Every structure is written in C-alpha cells, then in structure tokens.
Amino acid sequence: MENMTGFKRARFVLLLGALTSLIPFTIDMYLPAFPILAEVYSTTASSVQLSLTACLMGLGIGQLVAGALSDMHGRRRPLIVSLVVYVAASIACMFAPNIGVLIAMRFAQGFAAAAGLVISRAIVRDLASGAELTRVLALLMVISNVVPLLAPSVGSGVLLFADWKGIFFALAIVGFILLLITAFRMKESLPLEKRTPANWKSTFGNFASILKNRQFTGYALAQGFLIGGVFAYVAGTPFIYQNIYGVSPQVFSLLFGMNGFGLIFGSYAVGRFSHVFSEKRFLESALYLAAVSGAVLLAVVVMGGPLWAVAIPIFFFVTTVGVVAPSSFALAMQSQTRAAGSASALLGLVPFVLGALTAPLVGIAGEETAVPMGLTIFFMSFIALVAYHFLAKKAVATGYEES
C-alpha cells in the first residue's frame, strides 16, 4: 500500500471500509424494530434476539469458510460470490412468514456478510505490515464504526415511512451496490504463488497451527470476550431502553449512535498515536477500563438506576472496544506470515460465537430487567482481561511463542 498515491490509497481504504461496514449495518439497522418484530410474529423478546444470535453465528462460521476460501482461491472471487448471496438472503428476510424462517435467513445473511470483514482484513495483511498495518486497520475501524452511528437511525427512519420489511430491502440495496463496486473496482491482492492448496484437511491444520500460538490465542480471546459483551449490549438495549425507560425508537437510535462516537474515538486514538504508545499499552489500558465500566454498570442496574446512569458506563465500555479491536488484531496478525485469511477468520470467529451465546442471555429474565445484561457485560470484560494476562502477556514475558 506504500506504493499507492494518496488518492488511490484513500479510495482503496474507503472500499475496504465499506465492505467491513456491511456487518454493523446487518447487525444494527434492524435493532429499532425488535419490539415490532416481537409483536408481528407474536413471539417473545428472547425469540427475536435469537435472530441476532443466528446472524452472529453465521458471521462467525462464514468467516472461517470465507477466510479459508480466500487463501485458496484469492480474495476477489469469494468476495463477489458472498455479496450475491447476501443480496438474496436480505430479500428472503423480507418475506419470512414466521420467526423461524427469519432466524434461518438471518443466519444466511450473516454467513454471507462475513466475507466482507475477513477478506478486507486479509487484503490489508497482504499489502501492509508493522505500523502501517496498525494504522490501516485502525482507519478501517474508524470507517466501520461510523456505521453504528447511522444504522439504527437509518432503521428507525425507515420505520417512519415503511414497515420492518423496508429495513431488509435497504440492506439488499447496500449489498447490491457493494457487489457492483467490488466486481468493477477490486483487484486481486493475493498472487498465485502465495495461495494455499485447495485442501480442507490442510486448511483445518492451518487453524490448529495458528491456535497453538499462545500470543495469538490470548489476543483473540481478549478481543472476543470483550466484543461478546458488546453484543449483549446490542441485544439488550433495544428492549431495556424502549420498554423499561420508555424511549422512542428514534431516541433509542440516538443513544445507540452516541456510543458509536466512543468507538470512533478509540479507533482514532490507536491510529493517531500508534507511534507514541505501543499496541500492547493501548490494549492493556483499555481492558482495565472495560472491566471497571462493566462493574459500574452492574451496580447501577442492580440498584435500578436512572437511564443516564446506565448509558454512561455503557459508553465507556463500548469506547474500549474501539481501542481493543485494532490493537489486538494487529498484534495477533503480526505473528502470522502466511494464511492471513485463516488467521483473520479465527480472529473474527471468536467474537461472533461469543456474541451469539450472550445475545439471548440478556432476555432470559424477561423484558423488564437489565440485570442479565449488566452481569453478562461485567463477566465478559473480566474474562477478557484474564485471558490477556494469562495467555498473551505471559507468553510475551516468558518468550513463549508456540506450544
């Protein structure tokens, strides 16, 4: 990427940022419609949250498949195929006759959207390394983190003029636009000589080999558990803010979007000051702040505090993800010289699997309590800190690389 001119570089990064942004659009845009979906399908909050769980599972599994295929066949072709599937799945969501079909189509939608994230990251690893890799990843995080500011607001705006189906129609349009741009503007970044053999046995061997690196696994788990806590917040706040505190879908979107500014600030700080502070220093500081924020949030919801007292620790918790995600990803990827697609896929799999597990937990006690969300966020942030200290940091201190 160092050889690109300023304009070409900016255009290329924007394209990669748009592809990574497909995931937050897919996750966040329909959140304001959660209570509506529960009413339309005559079902419970937990059942609606299962549609988010299915999407997250699709995102996790899809990254493994897309990452492996991109290492075998290059980055461009798997990306184009995935976008075609995404458009089809988005349209299918519009016509889901019941909550079960919607859940299944959300899995397909997430599975297809996964390629945008994992392949974009692999492309960056193909073309950059070191501090340049960290800066570009942080910039992609800034771009993709703008989407949580917009997606719920766009979704609630659609609900002013159309029913919930309009949200999935808009997602199909976004996917189609990205398909056209990718097909006509994206060039292949992985030469033939660097591709892995088209052998799934060796592919799973790559996954096992990557996971033997304790530093990689420690960074992956630290990032994964923290983002798993974020998905508890994503699944819980549509009901908590609207049903417990009585805010409108538009006010919910505003509160949700404010946390996007925290994500942007965290990602920007990593990219802007990566030459001053190391990725490890950024990562460790953010993990401690996340644990403190989770503890404060848990105390507030147990005591039944007001909306502002809930929103403030959530803001700081979400902000830490903007720091942890690019710094932990860069540190993990720097240990991988080959099979960048598979490594990127593993880094993406962990958060979405954990998110799929946490999303339905926040609704198990009903729609009128925030305590399950507070408990989940606190424990996920605490475990993230423990995983970092006992795997990644300990491995660095002892000079241990692989078991």
More confident residue, 83 or 119: 83
More confident residue, 141 or 300: 300
Q: Which residue has the tokens 């500011």?
A: 149
310-358 pLDDT, tens digit each? 999 999 999 998 888 888 877 887 766 566 667 777 887 788 788 878 8
Q: How many residues does the chain have?
A: 403
Superfamily of domain 6-185+198-398, CATH level 4 = MFS general substrate transporter like domains (1.20.1250.20)
Contacts of 100 (CB under 8 A, 6+ apart): none
122-157 pLDDT, tens digit each? 888 777 766 677 677 777 777 766 776 677 778 878
pTM for the model stands at 0.70
Sorting pLDDT into bands at 50, 70 and 90, what band is 107?
A: very high
Element (H, E) at 137: helix 130-161
The answer on pLDDT for 1 being more than 60 is no
Are 145 and 23 in contact by the 8 Å Cβ rule? The answer is no
| Secondary structure tally for the chain: helices H, strands E | 15, 0
